[in-house]
Amino acid sequence: MTTPPSAPGTPIVEPAPAKLNLALHVRRRRVDGYHDLETLFVFCRDGDTITLANAPADCLTVTGPFAAALGASGAAAWPADNLVTRAADAFRAAFGVSARHAIRLEKNLPVASGIGGGSADAAATLRALARRHGVALDDPRLLAIAAALGADVPACLLGRTAFGTGKGDALVALDAFAGTPVLLVNPGVAVSTAAVFAGWDGEDRGPLDPADPLAGRNDLEPPARALAPVIDTVIARLAAQPGATLARMSGSGATCFALFGTPAQASAAAATIAVAHPDWWQLATTLA
């Protein structure tokens, strides 16, 4: 069903929440260079934000605490190497849109951190453009754009708990984990996704049961730890906090997370870790 377009003069604000992999099993390397994965995607209630408005010319403005990490701050021309602008250009080409847009990205999530920041930003851009121009979120052309932008973008476009297979883009939506308190911690170390996958030992350790992700694992933890040994310290700190039910690395790292029984326990853990490691980034939130 086609969605009625929004009023052209009204800015559209679209959240780009942090993505977590509660478990991530790498099954094999594919001939296309990707890996066959089994993963459980969940999304936080907090993250980056995309604001989109019509404009005489395309313009991207990057604000927020991690704007500088993208090599940009303030208003700028349309950088071709940014996932937000690539998403907008692909949308324009696929749907024949001639309108120009001013997009503001509030970058609150650390980059290259395993929580889908760039993928979430691209997906939020696609959702905002779809709302602006009356395109249904399940339009096959929109899904094709998401898949072409990156393996995590389809999951971020869906934006809800899902079991992912293939490259991670074959998705089955699930109803689980909503409202679970979680603490995200990043030690301020960026790790290369390509380098982490290159360090995977190639051993298939078996499938992931989407009904029991807590019994699963993240097969990318060992190679990520080899690149950034501080990940060991982060996971150990999280696991030692009262009320923590699971402590694990997300995606290809270096962000780690812990699930908690109550929001108070997550907040107390955040305070404790902030005292011991004031230079670490963290976010206490809940799963959507």
> Is residue 107 annotated as part of the catalytic site, yes or no?
no
- Residue 77 or 33, more confident: 33
Mean pLDDT of 72-83: 69
Question: For a pLDDT cut of 90, what percent of the chain falls above it?
Answer: 86
> Is residue 212 annotated as part of the catalytic site, yes or no?
no
Q: How many CB atoms lie within 10 A of CB 119?
A: 24
Q: What are phi and psi of 161, to 5 degrees?
A: -55, 130
Query: Beta 100-106 vs 74-76: how paired, if at all?
Result: unpaired
Q: What are the residue ranges of CATH 3.30.70.890 in the chain?
A: 181-286
State the Cα–Cα distance between residues 116 and 106, nearest whole angstrom: 15
pLDDT band at residue 81 using 50, 70 and 90 as cut-offs: confident
State the Cα–Cα distance between residues 119 and 169, nearest whole angstrom: 12
pLDDT band at residue 201 using 50, 70 and 90 as cut-offs: very high
- pLDDT tens for 233-268 read 999 999 999 999 999 999 999 999 999 999 999 999
Structure tokens that stand for 45 in this block? 């209630």
Of the candidates 46, 48, 152, 219, the residue annotated as catalytic is 152
Q: What are phi and psi of 170, to 5 degrees?
A: -95, 110
Q: What are phi and psi of 105, to 5 degrees?
A: -105, 115
**Cut 0.85: pTM above it:** yes
Q: What are the residue ranges of CATH 3.30.230.10 in the chain?
A: 12-173
pLDDT band at residue 70 using 50, 70 and 90 as cut-offs: confident
Q: Class for domain 12-173, per CATH?
A: alpha beta
pLDDT band at residue 136 using 50, 70 and 90 as cut-offs: very high
Domain covering 181-286: architecture: 2-Layer Sandwich (3.30)
Of the candidates 19, 107, 121, 169, the residue annotated as catalytic is 19
Q: Give the chain's end-to-end CA distance (angstroms, integer).
A: 25
Assign 15 to helix, strand or coil.
strand
Assign 265 to helix, strand or coil.
helix
